[in-house]
Structure 1
Amino acid sequence: MDPARDQAQAQDQDQAQAQAGDSAAVAAADALADLARIRAEEAELVFTRFSRDDAWRLGSRMREAAAARSLPVVIGIVVGQQRVFHAALDGAVPDNDAWLERKTRAVLHFEQSSLGVGALFRSLGRVYEQESRLDPDEVAANGGVFPVRIDGVGVVGAVGISGLPQVEDHAFVVEQLREFLAEA
């Protein structure tokens, strides 16, 4: 045994653990900032009413915007447990439908955006798939689905897309909701 070498290895391990801890702290801080922004979006994007006709108009608007940008996405809107709008654009694949379903389940379960669910777990230094107690094959905390919340009522459904990276999915939905609500 070489005490000097052992001490150097221990210091290297301590430094590696400190760096890992620093990385985890930075990741948690970034997730907390993301969560604050997402919560502000969720507070802003609230409906006074939401009918199936509204769902059709919103979904059609989203489809037109996605098609104009040649986005390979699926779009879905549910009210309660009923899908009231669905569209698949060129380039979308069946996996996009599966992801949309999983993200929608997260929104309906947690009553917040799917990106917000993931950010919440990361801000706590937790891994959603390990600690949510939900089957990650059924419920996904990846961005792209947003709650349909009615003022004074609560969450009545979800609207979302799948096919882009999760932050882009989320941003598209937020953009479309802002424009739709501004016209209402």
Structure 2
Amino acid sequence: MARLEDDERRLVLDRFDHDDAWRLGSLLTGLARERGAAVTVTVRRGPQRLFHCALPGTSADNDAWVDRKCRVVERYAESSFLVGARFRAKGRTFEDASRLDADRYAAHGGAFPLRVRGTGVVGAVAVSGLSQAADHALVVEGLERFLGVAGGRP
């Protein structure tokens, strides 16, 4: 959990606009294409979807997953993976303990808050199509590259 919390502290933007959303979404889509990963990528600012790409091999189910994960980010202002990990650390499941509709919220890895320094969370970036750990790792790697920061992983 400490690593997930560290990612959130490290990956903070100085600003975020429509052009940034396009660049971040395109970067993530490019990483996925290079790896042959069938994923859906979405970038949101507030409730507005600024970027969305569904690569071959995905389905409308992936669209629903990114929506559900982004709702967790919007509600908790933390990554969907970290929120799920916090519930598991308490010996509970998000689905049972959060009392939120599982058709609308999913605390599975792959959605990450877009936090602007001095402002707070302004949106979310999400990936769906891999395992939850791999979805999360792809988003983190994309944000690291976007921000030009070295990875915090050993």
TM-score category of the 2 structures, normalised to the smaller one: over 0.9
Q: What residue in structure 2 maps to residue 64 of structure 1?
A: 30
Compute the TM-score of the two structures, normalised by the length of structure 2: 0.95
Q: Does 1:40 align with 2:6?
A: yes
Counterpart Cα distance in 1 of 2:128 and 2:24: 16
Q: What residue in structure 1 maps to residue 85 of structure 2?
A: 119
Counterpart Cα distance in 2 of 1:40 and 1:103: 20
Counterpart Cα distance in 1 of 2:53 and 2:77: 23
- Which residues in structure 2 correspond to 1:123-162 (within 5 Å)? 123-162=89-128
How many angstroms does 1:91 deviate by?
0.6
- Which residues in structure 2 correspond to 1:80-119 (within 5 Å)? 80-119=46-85
If asked which structure has higher relative contact order (CA below 8 Å, sep 6+), I would say 2
CA offset digits 1:5-48 (Å, max 9, x no partner): xxxxxxxxxxxxxxxxxxxxxxxxxxxxxx21100000000001
How many angstroms does 1:111 deviate by?
0.3
Instruction: Give the number of the structure whose alpha-carbon radius of gyration is greater.
Output: 1
Compute the TM-score of the two structures, normalised by the length of structure 1: 0.79
SS at match of 1:60: helix
How many angstroms does 1:99 deviate by?
0.6
Unaligned runs of 5+ in 1: 1-34
Give 4+ residue runs of structure 1 displaced > 6 Å after superposition: none
SS at match of 1:55: helix
Letter of the 1:36 partner, please give it: A
1:173 to 133, 136, 139: 139
Counterpart Cα distance in 2 of 1:172 and 1:147: 14
Letter of the 1:58 partner, please give it: L
Letter of the 1:101 partner, please give it: D
Unaligned runs of 5+ in 2: 150-154
Counterpart Cα distance in 2 of 1:79 and 1:40: 22
> In percent, how many aligned pairs have the same letter?
52
Bigger proportion of residues as strand: 2
Bigger proportion of residues as helix: 1
How many angstroms does 1:94 deviate by?
1.2
RMSD: 0.9
How many angstroms does 1:160 deviate by?
1.1
Counterpart Cα distance in 1 of 2:147 and 2:132: 23
